[in-house]
Every structure is written in C-alpha cells, then in structure tokens.
Amino acid sequence: MKKILFILSLLAIMASFTLTAETRESEFYSVDLMVVSVAPHPLGYKVVYYDKYAQLHDLYIPLEWFQSNPAGIAQIVYGAEKTYPYLTLYYKNAVLDHLRLYVFSNQNDPTWSTLSRQMDLSDEFDVTLETMKIEF
C-alpha cells in the first residue's frame, strides 16, 4: 500500500512539473513558395513564383541582399533536390526578416531563365524588406 501511495504521489509531482513548464513560441515563422523560374541580372535575381491560389508573381531580390556577411538578408542555396526551386521567407514578429532561395546548381535546368542585361530594371530592384510586396 505504501508503495502505491509513493508511486502515485511521485506521478502527481511529475505531472505538476510538466503542467507548469512554460512553452515558448518562436518569434520566427517561415513561408515556402514554389518557384517557377529564376533569372539572374546584374542587379539581382528575378524570381517568378506561385501563390497559394496558383497565381504567378514576380519578385525582384537585389544582389546586395546576398552579401556573405552576417547582415546578409538573403541566401542562395545551390543543389539538386526534388523540391527545388523554392523560396523560404522568414518573418520575425510578422515582419519579413530574411529569405533563402533554393535553386538548381545546373544553370542549364529549365527553371533558370535569362533577362537582357540591357533592360533597365533599377526600379524593380530598388526595394527594401519593408517595401517588398510578396503575395502568398
């Protein structure tokens, strides 16, 4: 009888610890977008992607966002996974914080497209995290 009471009291104590433990939610959340094509340009990358309604949208990501320092806003990841290409947006407290663009290493893949270097796209690439409009 004493063993049963001891085991029950031990279980009650353990249950109270698990009930009082705080659960913290991350301040980050991510959104994945399916990419149709990626076009490099001297000013950055034009990304064509699907939103959740299967509508196509253009996104212009400035080249300076891909700086290889800790303050870099964007990262490009080359590979050959079946899920490529796609774009992951990371939001911190509901504000876009940074992004990762996953693309095929082989630039002969049909998802790579081209933009004329003669095209003046300076207005399209002149964006900030706050002014970038992303539909998803």
Q: What pLDDT is recorded for position 25? A: 76
Are 100 and 77 in contact by the 8 Å Cβ rule? The answer is yes
Instruction: Say what the pLDDT of residue 55 is.
Output: 96
Residue 13 is predicted with a pLDDT of: 56
Q: Exposed e or buried b for every residue in 3-38, given b needs 16+ CB within 10 A?
A: eeeeeeeeeeeeeeeeeeeeeeeeeeeeeebebebb
Give the position of tokens 């990419």: 35
- Residues of the chain predicted below pLDDT 70: 1-24, 68-71
Tell me which residue of 87, 80, 75, 77 sits closest to 106, measured CA to CA: 80
Q: What pLDDT, on a 0 to 100 scale, did the predictor assign at position 112?
A: 97
pTM of the entire structure? 0.77
DSSP 53-116: TS-EEEEEEEGGGG-SSTT-SEEEEEE--TT-SEEEEEEETTEEEEEEEEEES-TTSTTB----
pLDDT for 16: 53
